[in-house]
Structure formats: C-alpha cells, structure tokens
C-alpha cells in the first residue's frame, strides 16, 4: 500500500494505492461522496483487487469531475496496472434513493455487477437510456474507461454507501452491498484470470 499527497486544480488529495489483481476498484471522490472510499477498500481487501482511493484531508470538500482527475501519478499507475476498472461514485437523487446506476463503457461487466447486486435492497439499472446522462460514465476521458477493457461506473445512493444517516469517519458501507460487489468482482477476476 502506498499513500501519496497530490494536488489537482488547487485541491489537496491523499491517495491510497494498493496493486493487486487485474480488476481495479477506484474511488475518485472519497472525500466528497461519503462511503465510496470505504466501500472500495473493503471490496478490494476481500477480493485482492487493485485499489485506488482519493480523500481530502483538509479544506472544504471539492468535487472535481472525473474527466479532469487523470493527470496524477497514482492514477496513471492504477490505469496501467488494472485491466478493468470499477469506479464507485455517489448520487443524491431523492426520487431514486434505492437505485444503483450501473454505467461505464464495459456493458458485459456492468451486467455482471448488476446481477450480483440484484438480491440486495437496491435496484441496479443497466439500461443506458434509463441512467441520467451525467451518471452514465461514458466519456472517454473518464478514468473508468481508460483501462484496457474499460470499466463499470457504479453510482450509489447514500443508503448503499453508508449505514449511517449522518456522516461518520470512517463511513461503514452496508454489508449486502459489499457482498454484492465482492461477488461481481469475483466473477470478473475469474474471467480475467482465464484470459
């Protein structure tokens, strides 16, 4: 595990990088989208996946769009090591507080994760037509799409990221969501190992 401070667009971030298997777990907005860094960390620990999280140790939270986060060394290392990315994000859309949007350029991998999450209390949505455009994760400059096989962008509501209604440090992700993503990553790691 390597930690490194980086500065992007005037904001200081603490990155944590652990190189592991071919599937990579990424939390670009761990300091802003509560629970995403903790969820990525827990899934990577259980599966041996590669992990990169960004948190903001000081100052007011800043949300830098994903497409502008690709310049720092830890992210370049992550993208060159992993072959498939699962990027965890948070949405706060009240009307869909039980919906997990499953975007990103690798649609077969998106369906694997959706199936793995189907038994949870949340509804995974994979149809791009049903995912709000800002949550689709399809831009080619989005890091989720920059590994060799592209990736899956999971947009998680608050209740799928933390078991607490108010922010805590650290956030504690719901076990059913952890288990669902772990199962999906396990399938995807098996496919990558067989290549």
Does 3.40.630.100 match the CATH number of domain 2-193?
Answer: yes
In the chain, where the domains are located? 2-193
Going by C-alpha positions, the residue among 143, 148, 185 that lies closest to residue 49 is 185
Instruction: Output the pLDDT for position 195.
Output: 56
The per-residue pLDDT for 167 is 63
CA proximity to 105, closest of 128, 138, 83, 131:
138
One pLDDT digit (tens) per residue for the chain, 195 residues = 999 999 999 899 999 999 999 999 999 999 789 899 999 999 999 999 999 999 988 778 889 999 998 779 999 999 999 999 999 999 998 889 999 999 999 999 999 999 999 999 999 999 999 999 999 999 999 999 999 999 999 999 999 998 876 666 778 899 999 999 999 999 999 876 555
Q: Using N-to-C axis directions, what is the helix angle for 175-193 and 36-47, rounded to 10°? A: 50
Residue listed under structure tokens 């038994």: 119
- Residue 143 in contact with residue 87, Cβ under 8 Å? yes
Do you know the residue count of the chain?
195
Which pTM value belongs to this model?
0.94
Q: How far lies 35's CA from each of 54, 70, 77, 193, 195, in Å?
A: 12, 22, 23, 29, 32
3-class SS of residue 66: helix
């Amino acid at each position: 595990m390597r930690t490194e401070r980086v500065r992007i667009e005037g904001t200081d971030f603490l990155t944590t990088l652990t190189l592991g298997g071919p599937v990579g777990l990424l939390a670009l907005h761990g300091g802003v989208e509560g629970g995403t860094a903790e969820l990525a960390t827990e899934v990577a620990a259980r599966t041996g996946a590669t992990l990169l999280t960004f948190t903001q140790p000081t100052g007011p939270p800043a949300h830098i769009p994903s497409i502008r986060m690709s310049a720092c060394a830890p992210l370049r290392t992550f993208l060159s090591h992993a072959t498939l990315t699962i990027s965890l994000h948070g949405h706060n859309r009240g009307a869909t507080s039980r919906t997990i949007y499953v975007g990103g350029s690798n649609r077969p991998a998106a369906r694997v994760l959706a199936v793995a999450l189907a038994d949870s209390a949340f509804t995974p949505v994979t149809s791009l037509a049903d995912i709000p455009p800002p949550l689709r994760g399809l831009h080619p400059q989005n890091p989720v799409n920059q590994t060799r096989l592209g990736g899956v962008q999971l947009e998680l509501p608050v209740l799928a990221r933390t078991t607490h209604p108010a922010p805590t440090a650290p956030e504690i992700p719901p076990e059913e969501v952890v288990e669902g993503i772990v199962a999906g990553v396990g399938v995807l790691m098996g496919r990558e190992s067989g290549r």
